[in-house]
Amino acid sequence: MVRTAAERAFIPARHVLEEFGDMMILTARTIWSALRPPYPYGGELVSQFLFALRLCWFPLLVSTVCLCYAAPGLQAANFLTLFGALDRLGGFFVLGAIREIGPNVTAIVLAGVAGTAITADLGARKIREELDALQVLGVDPVKNLVVPRFLALMVVTGLFDIYALLFGIFGGILAELVNGQPLGPFWATLFANASTTDLWGSVLKTTIYGAIIAIVCCYKGMSASGGAEGVGRAVNEAVVLAFTAIFAFDYVFTQTLLATHPAILVIK
């Protein structure tokens, strides 16, 4: 009885650790094959880049404008009105929108829209034995399929972060206007608090998010098994795992950035 209970806890735990290890190996192999010649993945890289761009631009636009308008915009504005300090909303936007909401909404939209498409695509190919056939025909799936998706997602997520920041700030402007405020103080506190560290930190963070999404989603797709149902399961697991990994990484990254750049802790 005790033994079976222990086993029941142990087997999933071991499974999780094994999977984590496999993903680390996949990451290393992906980076290694990306750097080592030949470079046959250019075409696929461009098409994956455009694919992600096409799928994500609209959902991301809606998500960032609405979320930034609603969360830091309306809610924080309500709170700041208490102190008659609505001009501080710009400063708050640096903390909320640039550092957290922009990158995280970008990651959620990319994982949910582009990541799942990748898992479903690779999963279907795995189930149809296409990946096996490729390998037998001398095509390395990591170099030809994972590397272009990895690079494309990193670039797309990094770029989309800037796009999300712009539309997020637009949400803030909306909130100011709704509250009948002039925009001058919003910009003033925004630029007083924003530093280049904030910008590069935000872009770097999302670029790494892109890498995480690509590895998780490619891994789950390529290890799908059990027919069409297995592909569905893989997609589901990929989303759950990607979100978890992103938020866990967010914590580590934010903590590290604040510790190494104490200047950005000071709110002006």
Which residues of the chain form contacts with another protein (CB under 8 A)? 124-125, 128-130, 132-139
If the CB atoms of residues 139 and 192 are measured against another protein, the closer one turns out to be 139
Smallest separation, CB 18 to another protein (Å)? 12
Smallest separation, CB 151 to another protein (Å)? 19
Smallest separation, CB 48 to another protein (Å)? 12
Dist CA 244 CA 103 (whole Å): 15
If the CB atoms of residues 71 and 124 are measured against another protein, the closer one turns out to be 124
Smallest separation, CB 121 to another protein (Å)? 9
If the CB atoms of residues 47 and 75 are measured against another protein, the closer one turns out to be 47
If the CB atoms of residues 11 and 62 are measured against another protein, the closer one turns out to be 11
139, 140, 142, 147: CA torsion to nearest 10 = -60
Cβ density class 125-156: b for 16+ within 10 Å, e for less: bbbeeebeeeeeeeeebbbebbbbbbbbbbbb
Smallest separation, CB 129 to another protein (Å)? 4
80-85-88 Cα angle (round to 5)? 90
Smallest separation, CB 199 to another protein (Å)? 38
If the CB atoms of residues 76 and 145 are measured against another protein, the closer one turns out to be 145
If the CB atoms of residues 134 and 258 are measured against another protein, the closer one turns out to be 134
Mutual angle of helices 2-35 and 196-222, in 10-degree steps: 110
Place of tokens 């708050």: 92
Task: Look up residue 102 and give its two tokens.
Answer: 């922009």
Query: Could you tell me which of 35, 160, 30, 41 has the C-alpha nearest to residue 105?
Result: 160
> Residue 267: which residues within 8 A CB-CB, separation 6 or more?
91, 95, 193
Cis omega (within 30 of 0) on the bond before 38?
yes
